Structure formats: C-alpha cells, structure tokens
Amino acid sequence: MSTLSPTQSPKARRKPSTRRRAGSHAPYPAQEAHDSALAAIRSFLKCHTSYDAFPVSFRLIVLDTKLNVKKALQCLLLNGLPAAIPTLITHLTASSIGVVSAPLWNSERSKFAGMLTVLDIIHLIQYYYRTASYDYAAADVETFRLESLRGTSHLISHFLSFSFYLFLALDIENELGVAQPPLHREHPSSSLYDAAKLLIQTHARRLPLLDNDTETGHEVIVSVLTQYRLLKFISINCSKEIQQLNQSLRRLKIGTYVAQLPQDVPEGQNPYHPIATATLNTPVFDVVHMFSERSISAVPIINEEGIVVNLYETVDVITLVRLGAYQSLDLKISEALNQRSPDFPGVVICTASDSLGTLLQLIKRRRVHRLVVVEGEEEEKRGGKKGRLLGIITLSDVLRYVIGKVGIGEGLEPEDDSKSAKPSKS
C-alpha cells in the first residue's frame, strides 16, 4: 500500500531575520499533565455531592421484604413491568434500563434492610446446587419470602447482605467460603469524593443513599450511587482533564493482568493466572462457582489459542433461572449462550497500551461495566497473538486509580515493561 504525499517544491532562500522571537512556553511533560488532571478531578469531586450525580430522569426500584425470592428475581430482570408485582415499592421515571440490584425495605419497621444483588442470587443457586435436590430447590424458591430471612431454621435464612442476620455459623456465605458483603450507606449530600472512598474501602459496586424524613424521622431511600454513574459523571464534567490522561492502562497498573505472557508460561501451568477463564465447552455451573468464589460478575470465554470469543456474565445465569431452567446449569457455555437475549451489547475490548482518558471517554458514550484486555500489535511484535487474553479491567479498578489511596504519580511502571501489572482485587 502506498500513501500520497504532497509534491516537494523548491523553497526560496530567505535572509535570516534579525528580530528576536518571543520565548514560548514548552508544554508540560506528559506525567506532570497527567498528575495535574488527576488532582483537578479529585478536587471537582470534593466540591460536588451525590445529588449532583443523579440523572435528570431515573427509576428507583425498592423491594419489600414480603416479596418471595422468585418475584424479587423477576423484578430485577423484568423491571419494565413493575405493576405486575403488587408488593413492590416503585418510583418510576423515563428510564427503562434493566437493574441488577435493588435496595430492600422493611415496611413494618420503615427501615432500610440491605441490598439484593445478582451475586446474592448466584450464591443461592450454588448453595441449592450443593445441598438440595433440584425438585426441592425449584419448589422452595417459588414460596420463600424475603421477610423469612429473619428465621434461623430455613435453608437459606442468611443468603442476603444483612449485617444483623449474619450471626450464625451455618449461613450461606460461610457454607460457600465467600466474604460477607458489608452493609453500608451514605447521605446524598455527602461529597462524591467521600462516596467514592467508601466504595473503594468496602470493595462495593454500589452505594445506597439514604436521608431521613424531617417529620417522621423515618429513613428514606433516595437512590443508589453506582460506580458507573460516578465515573460517567466524571467523564461528562471533566472532559478537559480527561484529555490529559494519556498514560497507558498497563503503566498505571489499572486492571488485573496475566502473571506472564502465555508463550513464557511453563507447560502444565495456567497461562492466564490469576484471571478466571472458561471455554465454550465449560459447564455453566463451573462458571457459577467462579462467580461465587471470586465475587466476580463476568468470565472471559476463550478458544484453544487464548483468543477471546465471548464473555459469560452473572445476568446470563439469572436468565436461565428466571426461565425455570434450574437444571440448565449442566449445559455447556456454548449451549447457554444460545438462550442469551439478542440485545446483548457484546464484549468491549481494549489493549494495555490504550490510555485512561480513552477509557473514560468510552464510558461517556456507552454503558460499560468491564473491558477485556487483549494482546495488540505491540505484544504481537514480541511473539504474542493478536486478540489473545491479556487482562481484564473493571470499573472498580478504574475508580480505585482515579480516587485511590496512592499518591498522584506513584505506582508507575516503565512504558516498555513486558511484565504485567500486579493483579488488583475487584
């Protein structure tokens, strides 16, 4: 392929000018501009409250604890039809985006009662799969009410994130060996910086925002601040600063990367450690176990060469359960993907050389919860394979860097370092 270039024409020789040019200010070095932009973003968040990040129009769905598990699950997936669930407390606006979590409300005590998340349902599925027959699980999930979580004798009396329910040794989290998520909240008038800090410190993906009614003194659930909403608020309002964030994702240690490049891994060892991966032939339940054990929400699907071909998410499992296909956990991933909704947005990929600014600009344009990092041209030149799995970046990783505890400019690696970044917990 050839490229067109302008024809070179003779240049007239000019006499040297005797006038002195005014001194020009050299641009800031890339690192200094990057640090300055980060400091400006943090200052911006300290001057704005969680109220400021609310969209103009949004829907808040709050689940009453009198709902049974199946209806709560249907609500998470079919929230476009909330009227079909009479015990649901809903506040409706123009938004029709599906939800993967919802605050819980104890109507008898008029108090906030925790959060129901997709990961809670994943833990429940795995617990049933281990300890009960299919027939029992299918029948139990049809009748069990969330308010019965106060009981101590029921099979799943402790599968939700209620700090005051977690006093038994046989609750679901202990049975599965997974961490118990903290019960936390924040006031809507708190600064976005403080809210972000709390998200980072608790390793949470969402933060319930509660106020108090001035007349009754009762708690009021105002909204839920998510990592995505917070990062999108930054991307919309700090566009000038984002343009200065030109350092690469790998150099900034954003994300979790394979410990070694696959071609350098000794035979017999997992070339993609510490990233959880699966193939199209992996049973769905094996991936469910990864979700529960690692508290993750997606697993890259790779072929025999490590090329990323798809992504399996917790919502895909929930879809199977909602359809009544509890036994479908024995299906292969390839078969389960055929039941995925046709409006699945696809896998968002990037390379380790892409910049943080580019990632934040992407968050501004579309809803993104994670990016799969694949080998690009730079890795291919060093013997890699283009499109092969290299890492994964979650919104937790991005928020942790933008708001994180490390000092601005610290923790950087040389741009040409072939070593991957230290894995981060998400």
Q: Nearest 5°: phi and psi at 128?
A: -60, -45
15 domain residue, yes or no: no
The predicted pLDDT at position 346 comes to 83
The CATH number of residue 281's host domain is 3.10.580.10
100 Cβ contact list (under 8 Å, min separation 6): 76, 117, 118, 314, 315
226-274: pLDDT as tens digits: 999 999 999 999 999 999 999 999 899 999 999 887 667 777 788 899 9
Give the 3-state secondary structure of residue 157.
coil
When mean pLDDT is compared across 61-75, 197-211, 224-238, 240-254, the lowest value belongs to: 61-75
**CA separation for the pair 130, 332 (Å, rounded):** 19
Do 239 and 378 share a structural domain? no
CA distance 120 to 292: 9
Mean pLDDT for all residues in the chain: 75
Write out pLDDT tens, residues 302-322: 999 999 999 999 888 877 766
Statement to judge: residues 358 and 233 lie in one domain: no
**Which of 191, 215, 244 is the endpoint of a domain?**
244
Q: Does the residue 144 lie in any domain? A: yes
Instruction: Give the pLDDT confidence of 328-371 residue by residue, as tens digits.
Output: 678 899 998 888 877 777 899 999 999 999 999 999 998 888 99
DSSP states along 128-145: HHHHS-HHHHHHHHHH-B
Domain count, the chain: 2
Domain span including residue 260: 247-403
pLDDT band (50, 70, 90) for residue 409:
very low
Question: Would 10 be classed as within a structural domain?
Answer: no
- Mark which of 227, 244, 261 sits at the end of a domain: 244
Q: Do 269 and 214 belong to one domain? A: no
In this structure, the answer to whether residues 232 and 253 fall within a common structural domain is no
Where b means 16+ CB within 10 Å and e means fewer, 50-75 reads bbebbeeeebbbbbbbbbbbbbbbbb
